[in-house]
């Protein structure tokens, strides 16, 4: 049986450091991996990263670097120095992705630390097929995600962020060793919110997802720890 705590990532989506600390403390025994995104990182100037390190937790730094290759390379190097476990870049040009993959290895080796995972964002789970058409893309979300996943693997980064709705096809074309991180995960009883392509934890695991990102169904629950434990159990029973 798989270890559900090793698969679950909880998103700390709050703009206040004290609230982030309170949430981390509540989830300390039930969650091992936490995601720090743009809102949390910018509003607290990265203080939550230091607090998670004090607690011995794995850190998913979700800042979705997307810029010219030199800038992306420098950002990845800085994230490695922060000793995060996983970070995101956008699937973009091959040179930029290759340089991100290379600098992560080189900087981790220089610091004598474990290399963090670098994964590329394929298609945001808030986007629909119509949204893509509106910006001039004639591919479906699934087609675009698969195409970008292939590019990401070719570039040498470790995996991708994708919807669990297309994760099984990405696993088929990229292999089981290619990391898949799936947001937009909602237990059957949870509200969908602003996500347009959602999947339950059990379905996501059965489709081949390596890691599941869950936010509001846990962080806004009356008992966050109990909610997290319930999802861990669902993962393990999948």
Please identify every residue annotated as catalytic. 64
The DSSP letter of residue 223 is S
Contacts of residue 183, defined as CB under 8 A and 6 or more positions apart, other chains included, come to 11, 125, 161, 163, 195, 213, 215
Query: What gap in Å lies between CA 164 and CA 183, rounded to an integer?
Result: 8
| Distance (Å) of CA 55 to CA 7, 23, 27, 58, 220 | 19, 12, 11, 9, 22
* Residue pair 90/120 in contact by the 8 Å Cβ criterion: yes
* Residue pair 79/86 in contact by the 8 Å Cβ criterion: no
Using CB atoms within 10 A of its CB, is residue 140 exposed (0-12), middle (13-18) or buried (19+)?
middle
- Structure tokens that stand for 184 in this block: 């937009």
């Amino acid at each position: 049986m798989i270890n559900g705590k090793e698969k679950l990532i909880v998103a700390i989506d709050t703009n206040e450091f004290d609230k982030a600390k309170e949430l981390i403390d509540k989830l300390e025994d039930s969650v091992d991996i936490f995601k720090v995104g743009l809102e949390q990182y910018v509003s607290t100037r990265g203080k939550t990263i230091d607090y998670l390190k004090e607690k011995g937790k794995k850190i998913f730094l979700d800042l979705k670097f997307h810029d010219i290759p030199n800038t992306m390379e420098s950002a990845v190097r800085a994230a490695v120095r922060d000793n995060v476990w996983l970070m995101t870049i956008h699937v973009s040009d091959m040179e930029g992705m290759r340089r991100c993959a290379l600098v992560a290895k080189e900087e981790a080796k220089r610091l004598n630390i474990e290399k963090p995972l670098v994964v590329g964002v394929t298609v945001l789970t808030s986007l629909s097929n119509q949204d893509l058409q509106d910006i001039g893309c004639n591919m479906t979300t699934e087609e675009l995600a698969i195409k970008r996943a292939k590019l990401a693997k070719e570039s040498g980064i470790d995996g991708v962020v994708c919807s669990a709705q297309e994760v099984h096809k990405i696993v088929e074309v990229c292999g089981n060793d290619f990391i898949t991180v799936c947001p937009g995960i909602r237990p059957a009883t949870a509200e969908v919110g602003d996500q347009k392509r959602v999947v339950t934890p059990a379905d996501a695991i059965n489709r081949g997802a390596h890691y599941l990102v869950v936010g509001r169904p846990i962080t806004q629950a009356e008992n966050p720890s109990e909610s997290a434990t319930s999802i861990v159990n669902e993962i393990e029973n999948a």
